[in-house]
Amino acid sequence: MIHNVKFVLALLLALSAVAQSSAGEALFSHFSYRGEDDYCREALAEPGAYYNPVISGWASDPSVTRKGEDYWLVTSTFGYFPGVPVYHSRDLVSWEHAGNVLSRPEQLPWLAGLSLDKGGIYAPAIVYNPHNGLFYLITTCVIKGNGKADGSVNFYVTAKDPAGKWSDPVVLPGVTGIDPSFFFDEDGSGYIVYKSDEHSPVKWSNHRALSIVRFDAVTGKTVGEPVKFCEKGVGPEERLERDEGPHIFKAKGKYYLIAAEGGTGLNHSEVVYKADSPMGPWERWGRNPMLTQRLLKPGRENPVTCTGHVDMVETPSGDWYAVFLGCRPWNGGEDQLGRETFLMPVEWSADSFPRIIHNFKDTVALRGRIPGLASPQRLGQAGNFEWTDRFEGRRPAPRWMSLRGPADGLCAVGDGLKLVCAPVDPRSSGTPAYLGSRIQHHKFTAETELAFKPEADEAAGMLIVKNEQRQYFLAMREGEVALLSLGKGKAAVLASASLDTSGGKPVGLKAVCEGDAYDFYYRPEGNDWRLLATGIPVSHVATRRGGFTGTTIGMAATSVKL
């Protein structure tokens, strides 16, 4: 019944005129975003120069592959839909959001009702298989949060074109745990390495909880039993969380396994092993970790923390580069950006192990350079870029996400974005009328304008979402514009102003973030901007240490009394 209602709503919205709003609907003319971070104010001029992170804002658990001159990169999405953004580049530093892998609801039947930042899609891994010309994307959907019984589903999808349509999921029942990754050898044989379920009572044991199983690309199934990955060299005295996020690759005639170690917080690091066979035995590098920032002074300028979860790619010229997640902490460790995607060159040690840092005191720089590039980085996912979306296409741009499933029945685009005031609370475990985009800067300005005639409990406007219980809503309601802090229980009204909403005239809404606080504005038609609230703390919608997701901002509508 619910699906039928959504279909009817979608049909009505598609057939209705988008140029003006109707009862129970809010029409947004545009949404604009402008980054204003301090360290990006100096323009890039030198050929090959680039800003780190190369994909700013929440872009955690990056994985990268190459086909010819084209690089493709994916990141985690947890409880958001569509799942797994696909970024494309020809130079490793200038990335375009080309599409989304899991863009159909039948590809994510497990997502409904999950926690936004605890459940959903974890650590996708992408690889190109030259033996059959297919790209493979393998990942885990973690069933967690909002009263769900804990569990996970590991599956993969394939595509000829990563920016195009991906297949329906193929579930791998024999792969248990999280963070699976494919490796295809030169002879066509396939392997899956993953963090297996580990029930050892010794949390800090030498067994690092990884497993490897053979994979047949012809049948699309695993072959035989998984082999436990065991090694020596890490003891309980080091108290490092077990390995996760593993990848296997081949270089210099050897096989290498890299994995994140120490947890995803401040102790995060990346370690490397070497072997003569994909099944081992594996030799742990004696100078691990190959990447970490955990031993640096916390008070350093422009720190990058929590670095790890590396993937590596070889360029056509034979150079190696690593993408990895890291954080740019703000306000005592809290910020809205979450874990971002950084890029650094890979060097090789005298004993033929890859490394990203020379010693534990090397820092991840916020500016870098790739030799041989004719021009500096093109901004779009890095630096202080800006964009405006007027919703003129047939469907929302790839950047826009909804919560736990498609909001198709609650929105329509074409000369603006129309949202239905549906009876879904944005704090609930459902799918509200909300389209959001990742916040990608500590300092930024976001602006929109909507035409809306609210009645009764209806509200529409700009929504900032960290999770179900941490949101800000700059909303038009009947007779007023108000800033609401959404959490458990009744919404707290932080500020409000009387506003004639009876005529449905356009009203502008704007949020200006200075890193640790927001200022919120509104603008009735034909007037200047008016300050509604100032100094509103970012902390309510910030990513705290160990948080998996960043914060999103966008447009929302509801008929639920908040």
Could you give the angle at the alpha carbon of 475 between the alpha carbons of 472 and 477, nearest 5°?
140
Q: What are residue 108's phi and psi, to 5 degrees?
A: -135, 60
- Residue 84 backbone class (left: φ over 0; alpha: ψ -120 to 50; beta: rest): left
Q: Are 140 and 153 in contact (CB under 8 A)?
A: yes
In terms of Cβ atoms closer than 10 Å to its own Cβ (0-12, 13-18, 19+), residue 275 is middle
Could you tell me the CA-to-CA distances from 130 to 68, 127, 138, 205 in Å, in that order? Answer: 10, 10, 17, 38
Q: What are residue 141's phi and psi, to 5 degrees?
A: -105, 115
DSSP string, 141-206: EEEEETTEEEEEEEEEEEESSTTSPPPPPEE-TT--SEEEEEEE-TTS-EEEEEE-----S-TT-S
H helix or E strand, kind and range, residue 389: strand 386-389
Could you tell me the CA-to-CA distances from 41 to 24, 36, 386, 463 in Å, in that order? Answer: 43, 8, 13, 28
CA nearest 26: which of 562, 561, 558?
558
- Helix/strand/coil for 10: helix
Question: Do you know the residue count of the chain?
Answer: 562
Q: Please give the Cα distance from 114 to 400 (Å, whole number).
A: 19
Q: Are 389 and 326 in contact (CB under 8 A)?
A: no
Q: Which two tokens stand for residue 415?
A: 């000369």
Q: Are 420 and 24 in contact (CB under 8 A)?
A: yes
Q: Which two tokens stand for residue 357?
A: 């840092």
Could you give the angle at the alpha carbon of 447 between the alpha carbons of 443 and 450, nearest 5°?
160
Q: Which of 37, 117, 231, 244 is catalytic?
A: 244
Q: Which of 25, 37, 61, 283 is catalytic?
A: 61
CA nearest 539: which of 300, 299, 329?
329
Q: Assess whether 425 carries a catalytic annotation.
A: no
- The residues, ordered by sequence, that sit 6+ positions from 364 with a Cβ below 8 Å of its Cβ are 52, 293, 304, 307, 326, 342, 344
Could you give the angle at the alpha carbon of 487 between the alpha carbons of 483 and 492, nearest 5°?
40
CA nearest 48: which of 87, 89, 91?
91
Q: Please give the Cα distance from 152 to 332 (Å, whole number).
A: 33
Q: Which two tokens stand for residue 158?
A: 């394939």
Q: Quick one: CA dihedral 188, 192, 193, 198, positive or negative?
A: negative
**Strand duo 552-558 + 530-537: pairing:** unpaired
Q: Assess whether 244 carries a catalytic annotation.
A: yes
Count of alpha carbons within 13 angstroms of residue 409, beta-carbon side: 15
Q: Are 227 and 215 in contact (CB under 8 A)?
A: no
Q: Are 35 and 29 in contact (CB under 8 A)?
A: no
Q: Are 420 and 412 in contact (CB under 8 A)?
A: no
- Residue positions annotated with a catalytic role: 61, 244
